[in-house]
Amino acid sequence: MFAVLLAVGTLPARAAGPGNVYIYGGAADTNDFSRLDTDNLAVELGVGFNYLGSGWDAHLEVNFFSSEVDVNDPVLGKFTRKQSQLGFGVRKYWGQKRMHPNLGVGLSWLTFDNVTTRDGLISDATVGLWLDGGLDWDVGKGIQLGFIGRVSATSGIGVESTKHGGGYHLGGRLSWGWKR
């Protein structure tokens, strides 16, 4: 999976700079192992950091995303469902001018709070995968605005081990990147 990103494209990865710090705000349609499927979008916030070493083709990345949504379960009543992801992976940037398409992939540690199961509410954690892509524009010295679409997935948690977790994420990103 990581080898695919390292092999993709021949344009320099350095276009976005050797390092980037970003904040993210968006919405998530979470799959969280719940017996109660809700169409409510969860509010999601995130932060991330990536770094490009000398001679590397892709940035190493660490990110954290957290989302929550209020749920009204007919059996358990009202509660807040939360999902958090701590991710590690690689990100590839392209583009020489003001626009920087990018693609990221990695592993994440997903935690779920107040997941509804046959046995009531549970909290659990598991390892998953994430894949995202976006487009950033330079709007000032080192400052970039952009958007990102993300998919995260995992399976096998708690009592209902055949359920899948993660979800679809869409939002905006504000980042600061520094040059060499």
Sequence-distant (≥ 6) Cβ neighbours of residue 36 within 8 angstroms: 71, 73, 116
Residue 33: name the closest of 82, 105, 87 by CA. Answer: 82
Q: How confident is the model at residue 1 (pLDDT cuts 50, 70, 90)?
A: very low
Stated pTM of the model: 0.79
Residue-wise pLDDT tens digits, 110-136? 887 766 665 666 677 788 899 999 999
CATH label of the domain that carries residue 30: 2.40.160.20
Domain containing 172 equals 2-9+17-178
Question: Considering its fold, how many domains does the chain have in total?
Answer: 1
Other CB atoms within 10 Å distance of the CB of residue 118: 8
Could you tell me the pLDDT band of residue 154, with boundaries at 50, 70 and 90?
confident
Which pLDDT belongs to residue 20? 85
Dump pLDDT digits (tens) for 47-62: 999 998 888 888 999 9
